[in-house]
Chain A
């Protein structure tokens, strides 16, 4: 079949538009809109004792000022806890505008609306807020020590104690031939999409309806939240995600205060209002992720096989918990990776700090879990003088053990049962790809050049495509155009291309005829959102099912016209054909016309469907009972549970022992996401993920000082790597299709970022022979580590020094 496009590296059809500046991002909408700007807290923890707006009132162009006092009804209540959980015993959320107290720098206190953003900022600058400063908690250790409380009524700063176990870990550890314990840290980074958040709202006073554009990952739920908070009927609110310049997780959180306040102002003022987040706002007022303290005890035997694993994590959730304990759950359940862990206990204490909230950032707790597990593997190998790859190999779940039940409960409330995979296969491919066995030769070469070389690896399993559902709608028009809609949103992943490939393949039409719309509640009002590597799994399968429904109806109508059995028909290049009978065919566009019986011929094609166009069957109504006019179908995909993708990364680093600069000289990825819709897009996702993995390992961190001030809230000081810092990436693929969904696919969006920190930490440790127990690591920190007499040497280093190999 010529139109079989599933699995082909089709070029991204959206790129030309986006690259030449024809994209339509939030700030491209509503040039005449009023602009909102915010007065945000300069303090990490304070009581608000007064707000004096007088100084702003004579700013020409000022339209309105809102404080908490102006909020009523549901708007005066705290923002929702989006994902409640029984173990989230002390949830807290902020208010759309601060209600008497602020808990992090950047929390919104006053909204100013003016004729443009410049004037709004001029007015905001003149508003005087007085504060009574309160003690500040920064970092997991301070939160745990709880010398002060972030929220007065939660004295231990603990929002949740998430706990899962698969057996009785204490006796299992006691019975283990060997055990080791260690503590390690991982720092905060953030999504930092190229486009920040943004909201545009337009109120139609006559129709009493609201249209909101938001740079969001969840337009349907933003719609529901706006309707609920502003007391509007759902059908009077439409929310559209226009082109969105990246999300990486931060835009799945909703409703952001601005998503409610901007519509509130638009309705109150009867004018369009817009807010575009600036970079500083994004750093201090959106979300971060990843800080954890991890205390790990592992039991293992003389061969390096794990017998028991006990993990206690303190997870910094920032000032509030609007996204529940999703990140702690993901860390707790994805930590086990591709390994058999006979007895596992995990406790994650999610603690409050006076910093920006923590919600999913690409990987969403998985990089931390991977860091815990993979560094445990490295420690076992080191203790036993075994090859790190061999220790991993001995612990892997084998290909014949699927479905593999870890007896844990995942973030979707469903069991962690791995559907399919081949982890020994991944490891074998990775060793070959990176040249694992040649590491010692490379090390000697580098030493001759005055460099320290190290190699490290990390493996992961990623639960992707969680439910509850997504839907798809496919419609063939009389023009031959095929309209496809799904409710989840796009932030640059190439959905216009990959979803079109699925429909073109399922329906047998040219891809050029397929038009895809995402994230527009006018086109598809039921959706969950784009997160957790779920778009291809969820909407991809829903769209495929919808396309199959259209195909079935088209064949039924065609069979009638061509007087053939539907079983004898095929569709190719948009034409239904009786197999093996040339000339006996009918275009899909004609079937589309015939599928909708007409009274009025508004164009030439429509004539064919009118009442006198041909002989009819007077014994049947024009639309049969149970049938519907139009060649279209709507369908939904709701998975029984998540599907589990997997992969393995390896990094080779060279370190300059004079400056302690760290250079990644090789980065290898083996990746398995089941059946691949578009390998070029999947590779792009891997590349972007690896870039963020390298970022989190070597460059990015949120540099909070003791007072809760973010010291690097700009791209000058927050070191997002440039292309010059991201290594070339060697990729090899493996495919173990998912048995859980019709297309056999697994998610690919987050995979690339997950093992970066673990693999790079391992490689640096291998190079310098010092234990790396805090990531990210910078040259100045590495210098501190290597000249500290108290820092722990690895056993491997001691052994190598003994044989003179390090000399």
Chain B
């Protein structure tokens, strides 16, 4: 379990990083936190010709919070979005899903080193942050020698462990739009062991209308598809008062919309069951939050 030979570059600037990536071609990989990439190398499941370590590139380690949303730089570690961290508290006021989902990411040692953007660029359909990017309708910023462009989440995730980013491109940040008014969120997982990739996870956003009736429900799931998907569950409970909506009906609807695979940890049917259960449970919690926010607003 030792990596095959590779070259290593640790450029000081983004331009330099892009230049190395241009020179190396498709065989180069960007290294940020390394929590997924290095195990793949050690197991020789990946054998890049060059690792371009961007940890020395300045300006990528910030969390910017505006009224529009939260921009997370490519070197922001998971822990920076979690719990008592100053950035996390600022971000939570605008988009509480970030901290809620991050709390489910692996273990402290991994969260200290692993990055949110790296997790998104890794595009694992079991990853928490891929689901959150999709659920919030987020996007990523991709730098290339030709310039900087914004890529919507739907265009970014191409397949399991596969994104639209290739060659001389670096994902420099991810943008999570702010939670809309009169909305609440919740995130929950079922994992075999604490901190494992979820057997199934769910994140939801509930938005109420002015009369505290359900206006819109969106949900995204972990470990149930090849790429992150967002499902609109509004129809199941639209117009229902927040206090008496039948969240189980939304769960039942969700169950019909997903098409999970089986693996050694769970059958497809069990994952469908969890989609229904987690949908019902998270919706109840998110709706309560939405109601509370609607009252304040």
Contact = CB atoms under 8 A, between A and B. Distances in A.
Interface stretch (A178-186, A553-561, A721-729, A733-741): A721-729
Interface in B236-279: 264-267, 269-270, 273-274, 277
B264 A711 contact: yes
Contact of B1 (A279, A722, A724): A279
B274 A659 contact: yes
B4 A725 contact: no
Interface in A503-551: none
Interface in A442-500: none
Interface stretch (B64-72, B150-158, B174-182, B188-196): B188-196
B273 A703 contact: no
Contacts of A724: 193-195
Interface string A117-140: 110011001000000000000000
Interface residues of A, number: 29
Contacts of A712: 264
Contact of B2 (A117, A660, A725): A117
Interface in A675-728: 699, 703, 711-712, 714, 716-717, 719, 721-722, 724-725
Contacts of A716: 39, 197
Contacts of A280: 1, 43
Given A699-B192, A724-B193, A778 B265 contact: yes
A721 B270 contact: no
Contact of B4 (A122, A660, A722, A784): A122
Contact of B264 (A121, A717, A721): A717
Contacts of B43: 280, 714
Contacts of B39: 716
A118 B3 contact: yes
Contacts of B84: none
A778 B193 CA distance: 11
B86 interface: no
A780 B2 CA distance: 35
Interface in A230-254: none
A779 interface: yes
Contacts of B3: 118
Nearest to B268: A780
A779 B194 CA distance: 15
Q: Identify whether the interface residues of B are mostly helix, strand, loop, or mixed.
A: loop
B270 A719 contact: no
A784 B264 contact: no
Q: Which of A122, A278, A722, A780 has the most CB of B within 10 A?
A: A780
Given A703-B264, A780-B266, A278 B194 contact: no
Interface in B107-143: none
A121 B47 CA distance: 13
B37 to A, nearest CB: 14
Nearest to B278: A659
Nearest to B194: A724
A278 B2 CA distance: 9
B5 interface: yes
B93 interface: no
A278 B43 CA distance: 10
A661 interface: yes
A723 to B, nearest CB: 9
B85 interface: no
Contacts of A278: 1
Nearest to B107: A722
Interface string A657-669: 0111100000000
B5 A122 contact: yes
Contacts of B196: 719
Nearest to A59: B5
A719 B192 CA distance: 8
Interface in B219-251: none
Contacts of A783: 267, 269-270, 273
Given A280-B43, A659-B274, A783-B270, A721 B190 contact: no
B293 interface: no
B7 to A, nearest CB: 14
B47 to A, nearest CB: 9
Given A122-B4, A711-B264, A722 B195 contact: yes
B49 to A, nearest CB: 14
A709 to B, nearest CB: 11
B190 A778 contact: no
Interface string B31-62: 00000000100011000000000000000000
A778 B2 CA distance: 33
Interface string A760-782: 00000000000000000011100
Contacts of A711: 264
Interface string B4-44: 11000000000000000000000000000000000100011
Contacts of B273: 659, 783
A118 B2 contact: yes
Interface in A627-676: 658-661
B44 A125 contact: yes
Contacts of A780: 199, 265-267, 270
Interface of A: 117-118, 121-122, 125, 278-280, 658-661, 699, 703, 711-712, 714, 716-717, 719, 721-722, 724-725, 778-780, 783-784
Of all A-B residue pairs in the complex, the 8 with the closest CB atoms, nearest first, are A724-B194, A780-B270, A278-B1, A118-B2, A703-B264, A780-B266, A658-B277, A121-B2
14 contacts: A118-B3, A122-B5, A711-B264, A716-B197, A717-B264, A717-B265, A719-B265, A724-B194, A725-B193, A778-B265, A779-B270, A780-B199, A784-B267, A784-B269
Given A703-B264, A722-B194, A725-B194, 12 more contacts: A118-B5, A121-B2, A659-B190, A659-B274, A717-B264, A722-B193, A725-B193, A779-B192, A779-B266, A780-B265, A783-B269, A783-B273
